[in-house]
Structure 1
């Protein structure tokens, strides 16, 4: 799998896409299926040939790339809460990498979810419930604990809680991919212009 700047930008966009969906759920109580499906799809990809293939079809991480560009350029739609969550996800994944038992439990949980995906589809409540439980059994036991802010009415909804935990799991999966292709916090701090250029080129290729 390539370790170039586009690969790193794509993996980082995967984190932003999942966290952006979490933020929207927390504030509005709804989710965009086209944004969420690539996040869920990525959870099942073990041996994808490219980073982009982890998320599905070409253009699958457009929302994440748009969010990444907004964060790096300071655009009006920039959301510092999303940036805070992304940083926490990167820290949580780094901690997860030091806990082989939790990693093994996650692999088992993903394998067990394949039959549910095949029977119900990616965005079925049964699949969200499965991954939410998996998140609670593994990542919720590690630090940092990711705190989501939003409308209490939406956050108290059990279905939304399952969706949020599943999307956080997808964000951690993208963070794992980010590390696997050579990404580090130093890339965000010192090479963010390169990442920004790759993200903008990605969107231009899709005429967005």
Structure 2
């Protein structure tokens, strides 16, 4: 590794650390004050950064709130690709989703409150759907390969249908998790949702 490459690695890690710090500040403020009541200026004051620094890392308040899950789609794709070829596409997707579930359950009540806020706020729910649409594109080639479809054939709806169904089950599991006073583990809820969907066939 050259000195230039090492320097780039250090800068990349510093950038990600700053993004995580700002995202955490946004989440804390939103949970304390509410999403609409939290401004970029509030975020900058809490994180002790300037507005120009904030916008260097995030284009908007919404992006900052979702900042800690920015690379979740790539991790989900990699987890799916790593699943054994002997698994059905549905089983492979379910197992690949474990990494995502762990991210939610790792923070328990705090993450439950954030997730409840996201699904109940129209603007944030819309951004969440945009994220899912991006995940669809990331996952489509691998799912298409697993179902025997041509990954290059965008006119074939099967891969999209499988992914949309799986992500819909995730949404249903998260909704149940956020609304229950004594929630079951997300993995259990997701198993129930995906089991009910597969049983329809």
TM-score (norm 2): 0.29
Compare relative contact order (CA 8 Å, sep 6+) and give the higher one, 1 or 2. Answer: 1
Q: Which has the larger radius of gyration?
A: 2
